[in-house]
């Protein structure tokens, strides 16, 4: 990505901070601790003080004005270090929903809170993913009934934004996390991150975001979240390539550095080319967002599909090129491999996004 001076400083500052305070090895300790939690609250407060929660928010609502390219740079830094934060679920998905579907009063009340580090959760998925034509969670007479899956940050969020069906409209309901009638079960995934399944049994709704049908706002927010995940994935893929090249440059076999073997050099060169292609797709989507594009659905699917593929391939190749050590838990490579599998499913895998890209293109 081509970043301006401020965005470059932001990226470098975050990389340095995370390398010291939350390196990839910290994920191993977090994964193995007692109990289940989506993220380290103390670390998130420090990141919020650095501005991570406010990067792409409107400046009039407490945002820092770094734009979506700045957000992409931050997500890449988080991906490089496998840092678990509510940036995706709260600062991206929830903030975009509020900004696009909320009233002026709601934006003025909630966006500054998100910018300051308050955590919101968005409950949108049912089953494997969000299916707008098959939404079962309902909003009638001021109450919610239904269930949501794969909810990010639900265990530590104070407020939830719940996508529900109201007659022929889709609405976003604001619900306090401690409301009666809510049953929330949080589980840890293979990569150490957490998601929640939430059941709503006649839960009273505080208010709705905006008025009327929020279907377009929901779709746009999910597209931007997909782009943010792609940025995180490419940060992880880039870190894997750097670690693998460094290992090949040091590892000796048959009396020589294995990095001098042309076959291995070709494999790394191919990975580099595919990574750069995915970066270009990501940069295109972020650039269009910064320039006010209203519909980036096709660009978002392109970026997510390419990021899915290269992160999966990079983690597979890195594991193999590290030899037997690549499959041990002591090596960080395995942490990236597991994260690549989880992010591949977030907001749609490659098959879903390739089909969507083709459909949107009229094929």
Q: What is the pLDDT of residue 184?
A: 95
Question: Which residue from 243, 246, 244, 248 is spatially nearest to 262, judged by alpha carbons?
Answer: 248
CA–CA gap between residue 312 and residue 27 (Å, rounded): 19
CA–CA gap between residue 228 and residue 75 (Å, rounded): 6
Q: What is the pLDDT of residue 65?
A: 86
Neighbours of 256 (CB within 10 A): 10
Q: What is the pLDDT of residue 133?
A: 63
Assigned fold of 215-360: Butyryl-CoA Dehydrogenase, subunit A; domain 3 (1.20.140)
Q: What is the pLDDT of residue 21?
A: 93
Residues of the chain scoring pLDDT < 70: 1, 128-134
Phi then psi for 131, rounded to 5 degrees?
-120, 100
Neighbours of 359 (CB within 10 A): 12
Question: Hey, what are 245's tokens?
Answer: 């090249």
Residue 109, phi-psi category: left (phi > 0), alpha (psi -120 to 50), beta (remainder): alpha
Structural domain boundaries of the chain?
Answer: 5-115, 120-208, 215-360
| First-last CA distance in the chain | 29
Assigned fold of 5-115: Butyryl-Coa Dehydrogenase, subunit A; domain 1 (1.10.540)
Is residue 338 within 8 A of residue 191, CB to CB? The reply is yes
Place of tokens 């081509």: 2
CA–CA gap between residue 172 and residue 180 (Å, rounded): 19
Assigned fold of 120-208: Butyryl-CoA Dehydrogenase, subunit A; domain 2 (2.40.110)
Neighbours of 101 (CB within 10 A): 27
Q: What is the pLDDT of residue 255?
A: 83
Is residue 166 within 8 A of residue 173, CB to CB? The reply is no
Q: What is the pLDDT of residue 134?
A: 65
Q: With H, G, I as helix, E, B as strand and everything else as coil, classify residue 83.
A: coil
Q: What is the pTM of this model?
A: 0.95
Helix H or strand E encompassing 107: helix 104-115
Q: What is the pLDDT of residue 212?
A: 86
Is residue 302 within 8 A of residue 285, CB to CB? The reply is yes
Q: 7-22, pLDDT tens digit by residue? A: 888 888 999 999 999 9
């Amino acid at each position: 990505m081509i970043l301006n001076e401020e965005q470059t400083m932001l990226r470098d500052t975050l990389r340095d901070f995370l390398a010291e305070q939350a390196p990839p090895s910290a994920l191993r300790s977090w994964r193995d601790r007692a109990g289940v939690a989506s993220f380290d609250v103390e670390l998130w407060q420090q990141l919020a003080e650095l501005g991570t929660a406010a990067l792409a928010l409107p400046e009039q609502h407490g945002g820092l004005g770094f734009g979506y390219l700045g957000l992409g740079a931050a997500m890449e830094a988080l991906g490089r270090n496998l840092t678990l934060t509510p940036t995706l679920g709260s600062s991206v998905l929830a903030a975009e929903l509020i900004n696009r579907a909320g009233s002026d009063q709601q934006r003025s009340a909630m966006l500054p809170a998100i910018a300051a580090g308050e955590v919101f959760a968005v409950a949108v998925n049912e089953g494997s993913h969000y299916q707008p034509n098959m939404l079962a969670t309902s909003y009638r007479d001021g109450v919610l009934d239904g269930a949501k899956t794969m909810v990010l940050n639900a265990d530590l969020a104070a407020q939830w934004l719940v996508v529900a069906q109201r007659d022929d409209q889709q609405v976003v309901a604001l619900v306090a996390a401690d409301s009666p009638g809510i049953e929330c079960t949080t589980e840890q995934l293979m990569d150490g991150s957490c998601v929640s399944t939430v059941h709503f049994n006649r839960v009273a709704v505080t208010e709705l975001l905006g008025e009327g049908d929020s279907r377009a706002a929901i779709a746009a927010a999910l597209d931007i979240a997909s782009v943010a995940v792609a940025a995180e994935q490419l940060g992880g893929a880039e870190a894997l390539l750097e670690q693998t090249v460094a290992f090949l440059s040091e590892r000796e076999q048959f009396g020589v550095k294995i990095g001098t073997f042309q076959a291995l050099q070709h494999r790394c060169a191919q990975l580099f080319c595919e990574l750069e292609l995915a970066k270009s797709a990501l940069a295109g989507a972020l650039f269009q967002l910064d320039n006010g594009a209203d519909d980036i659905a096709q660009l978002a699917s392109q970026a997510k599909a390419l990021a899915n593929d290269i992160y999966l391939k990079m983690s597979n190749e890195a594991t193999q090129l590290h030899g037997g050590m690549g499959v041990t838990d002591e090596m960080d490579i395995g942490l990236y491999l597991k994260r690549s599998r989880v992010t591949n499913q977030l907001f749609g895998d490659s098959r879903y996004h390739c089909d969507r890209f083709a459909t949107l293109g009229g094929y």
